[in-house]
Amino acid sequence: MQCTMLKAKIHRATLTGVEPDYEGSIALDRALMARAGLLAGEQVHVLNLNNGERLITYVIPAPRDSGTVMLNGPAARGAADAAPASDASAGR
């Protein structure tokens, strides 16, 4: 049997930007990725704390110490209000 468990969580991060024309993903500051133990390309769940929406995407690294938390692609279209979000990574 395989169990999927929560590996890490970034709680109440505020989006710093959106890029609707990008192919998809969430860009995270490399320092934040390191503190949370996230790897480039790792699957994450992003939760919009304002409306309860959840999406699944993958992490791409943004410049270290930039503070970047940016949704890209179709997911960015629903986050134009830069809502607080939680980012959780599941591991097996």
79: domain CATH number?
Answer: 2.40.40.20
Stretch 54-76: mean pLDDT = 92
Integer Cα distance of 21 and 62 in angstroms? 17
- Residue 17 phi/psi, 5-degree rounding, is 180, 170
User: How much is the pTM?
Assistant: 0.83
Number of domains in the chain: 1
| Residue range of the domain that includes 86 | 5-91
User: Which of 25, 66, 86, 89 is flagged as catalytic?
Assistant: 25
User: Which of 58, 66, 86, 89 is flagged as catalytic?
Assistant: 58
pLDDT-based confidence at 75, cuts 50/70/90?
Answer: confident
Report which of residues 26 and 53 the model is more confident about: 26
Has 58 been annotated as catalytic?
Answer: yes
In one-letter notation, the amino acid at residue 31 is A
Residue 90: what pLDDT? 56
